[in-house]
Amino acid sequence: MNQGLWKYADWIDPIPSHARLTLGEGGTPLIRSRRLGPSVGLKNLFFKVEFTNPTGSYKDRFACAAISDMIANGKTECIATSSGNTGAALAAYCALAGITCEIAIVEKAPEGKLRQMLAYGARLYRIRGFGVDSQTSEGVIDCLKTLSSRPQAQMQISAFAYSPVGMSGVCGISHELFEQSTAPIDHLFCMAGGGGFVVAIARGFQQLLQGGRIARLPRMECVQPEGNDTISSPLRQGAEFGRTVECTTRISGLQVPQVIDGNQVIAVCRESGGTGHVVTDEWVFEVQSRLSREEGLFAEPAASTAVAGALQAAQQGLIDPEANVVCVISGSAFKDPPSLEAMTSKVSCPMIDLVDLQQRVHQGV
């Protein structure tokens, strides 16, 4: 029987067994790069493919722990924010639990992700300026805090600053990587919006280190698009704290102009010997296309950002060609129709007649 997230229950914030939900989350594959890694001289580049989770992203690990915790505490209303994947995951697990789900949506969330949330029965509100302007974004959070102050309600945002129990579920990625890797991981590249994803994986490896299962931490490498550089440049430049920005990136899911968990990201990356990486939107979109065409991995732009950072670092000579490098691919491209349209805009599927196909057979083409 698939235990889902609860295979690693000892490493998750305590949740009683009677309250534990599962949709079979976790157990995602670790795949060796056959083409992209060698193209930049990396002999051991691997992809942790998180889009095989039930709703198509790593956020199922978060939602599983978060909603199970709500059940344990008798909560019946989930109040949340999302740019897409968090909302889909929370909506699915709320449906399973019989909990109502209301989600404030960032302005530029892809329509495909909204429809997935609606399919699970969530109530959505898209808010102008949310995810673009830091002041508006902070105002949204303040409103949700008030709404979730009711006894039956709880706010869920995929960040340690707001939902530490849910984020503890993401630590399972590190334990899976330990079991799947045949050699110690030297560099672990993760994308960052608010930064909680990086912190969760770092904490998972800290658990493994403290338990004596690994001898050293992998270098945690934080990758952000240049249009939402709240963490990566401050980390790289030696600063202790992140910074708010006016978000201009087109990478959905990474449009988080506030720092949120960014200061913790800087601390855990620096402790591990890792650093920050900033990539252009254009490079992310190119890598997204190459992941599909050269590796067979159908990743959304945000999920391609970690790989974009690793390839860029390799091209800059910042990674030993023999190093064991892992990139976490966080979500599926099926949810982001605009990025698919951009990726396939120069190709088409023509309609032909049978005689045309017969002619091709005759010509041996």
- Residues forming a β-bridge with 326: 46, 188
Which domains are assigned to the chain? 4-53+167-343 (3.40.50.1100), 59-163 (3.40.50.1100)
Span 219-272, pLDDT tens digits: 999 999 999 999 999 999 999 999 999 889 999 889 888 899 999 999 999 999
pLDDT computed for residue 152 by the predictor: 96
Instruction: For residue 25, name the pLDDT band (cuts at 50, 70, 90).
Output: very high
Q: Are 165 and 15 in contact (CB under 8 A)?
A: yes
Nearest to 197 by CA among 16, 331, 22: 331
DSSP code, position 332: B
Average pLDDT over residues 102-115: 87
Please determine, for residue 99, whether its predicted confidence score (pLDDT) is greater than 90. Answer: yes
Count of beta carbons in the 10 Å neighbourhood of residue 267 = 15
The two counts, helices (H) then strands (E), for the chain are: 14, 10
pLDDT computed for residue 256 by the predictor: 87
pTM, two decimal places: 0.92
d(CA 49, CA 31) in angstroms, rounded, equals: 7
d(CA 30, CA 252) in angstroms, rounded, equals: 24
Q: To 5 degrees, how large is the angle CA 356–CA 360–CA 364?
A: 170
Instruction: For residue 195, name the pLDDT band (cuts at 50, 70, 90).
Output: very high
Collect all residues with Cβ–Cβ distance below 8 Å to 255 and sequence separation of at least 6.
Answer: 83, 106, 108, 131, 132, 193, 228, 247, 249
